[in-house]
Amino acid sequence: MTGAGKIAIIGAGAVGCYYGGRLAQYGHDVHFLMRSDYEVVMSGGLHITSPLGDADLRVAAHRSTAEIGLCDLVIVSLKATSNAALMELLPPLLHEGTVLVTLQNGLGNEEFLAKHFGAQRVLGGLCFVCINRTAPGRIQHIAQGRIHLGEHLRLPQPRTHVIAEVLRQSNIDCVVEASLAAARWKKLVWNIPFNGLSITAGGKNTAAILADPILEMRVRSLMTEITTTARAMGHEVPFELIDEMIERTRTMTEYRPSSLIDFETGHEVEIESIWGAPIMQAAAAGHAMPLVTHLYEELKVATQRATTPG
């Protein structure tokens, strides 16, 4: 792989539109699969507000992947709860050398893509970013934005560094990870407590969670359990990451995690990929996660109540 080539963005929410928009802004051939936002974006464009610079873009939007056609790089930013749809969405985009990069949350997404479309295609990217879709075609980037990029089940390849450099040249901070699995567990150290407690604590943003001493203590306990488990499974996740992540979260001010937004807007929360899959992976390796399991059960009750009529 010598360059990005033709790029498809599958999942045109906040993450897909922000990173795809940056790539388009810097001259790359980017094609967005859009449904609900299609008319708005076609008529008025895609708008990004960001401390790194605003962008008002005319982009190539499409209603189907068949309309997009074969691509060299496909960035998957759908919610993990929609993975089944990829069985129909991805085939029209794939030629022999097409690379798939999933920017989805949680565990199991690379495995899903590898199983159905070939492990040799698959990379994963972890987005450490505060970002929201505020209206159709409008993305608000609040803070951070680094992508940690790695290969599925192998060390970085030449293409890994090519993609990382393409991202960097598009005003996207990117680092290449020697172990994608370890990087996934590092992100879970943040995602599991903050996404989960934002729902179970009654709709609290990150600032409100850290302003409550009891909730902050629970955040730290969850982070410690996740880090301990990851290390027991052979992943290099340092305990120093806990303080680092909490202090970084204080700079986000009143950030509402994506799972809270999904919950409050009636969309399906990614319970299995963010909470269920880590519990299962740990159990398969002989490790229990009682604190994460308790939060997982709380979330299942909360989401079931939210979708139960009456």
State the fold for domain 6-178.
Answer: Rossmann fold (3.40.50)
List the catalytic residue out of 6, 79, 187, 204: 187
How far apart are the C-alpha atoms of 162 and 173, rounded to whole Å? 14
CA torsion angle 70 76 79 85 (round to 10) = 30
**Which residues does residue 47 pair with via DSSP β-bridges, in sequence order?**
56, 138
Residue-level pLDDT at 143: 87
CA torsion angle 110 219 253 200 (round to 10) = 80
How far apart are the C-alpha atoms of 60 and 68, rounded to whole Å? 9
Question: For the segment 24-69, what is each residue's pLDDT rounded down to a tens digit?
Answer: 999 999 999 998 899 999 999 999 999 999 999 999 999 999 999 9
pLDDT mean over 91-106:
97
Question: For the segment 243-291, what is each residue's pLDDT rounded down to a tens digit?
Answer: 999 999 998 878 999 999 999 999 999 999 999 999 999 999 999 999 9
Residue-level pLDDT at 310: 45
pLDDT of residue 188 exceeding 50? yes
pLDDT of residue 295 exceeding 90? yes
Domain pair 6-178 / 182-307, same fold? no
Q: Sorting pLDDT into bands at 50, 70 and 90, what band is 1? A: low
- Asked which of 2-6, 121-125, 162-166, 175-179 is least confident by mean pLDDT, the reply is 2-6
Residue-level pLDDT at 308: 56
Domain ranges of the chain: 6-178, 182-307
From the options 1.10.1040.10, 1.10.8.620, 3.30.70.60, 3.40.50.2300, give the CATH code of 182-307: 1.10.1040.10
Tokens describing residue 105: 């949350």
Helices (H), the chain: 14-25, 38-44, 65-68, 86-89, 109-117, 158-168, 180-200, 206-211, 213-232, 240-250, 258-264, 271, 277-284, 290-307
How far apart are the C-alpha atoms of 118 and 210, rounded to whole Å? 42
Tokens describing residue 277: 């899959």
Using a cut of 0.85, tell me whether the model's pTM lies above it.
yes
Residue-level pLDDT at 307: 59
Q: What angle do CA 280, 257, 171 make, to 5 degrees?
A: 105
Residue-level pLDDT at 19: 97
Mean of per-residue pLDDT scores for the chain: 94
Rg (CA), the chain: 19
- Cα distances (angstroms) measured from residue 33 to each of 26, 77, 78, 113, 127: 19, 11, 11, 18, 20
Q: Sorting pLDDT into bands at 50, 70 and 90, what band is 157? A: very high
- Cα distances (angstroms) measured from residue 151 to each of 145, 147, 181, 194: 20, 13, 9, 27
Residue 303 phi/psi, 5-degree rounding, is -75, -30
Q: Catalytic site residue 115? A: no
CB 145 within 8 A of CB 122: no
- Asked which of 73-77, 151-155, 254-258 is least confident by mean pLDDT, the reply is 254-258
Residue-level pLDDT at 44: 95
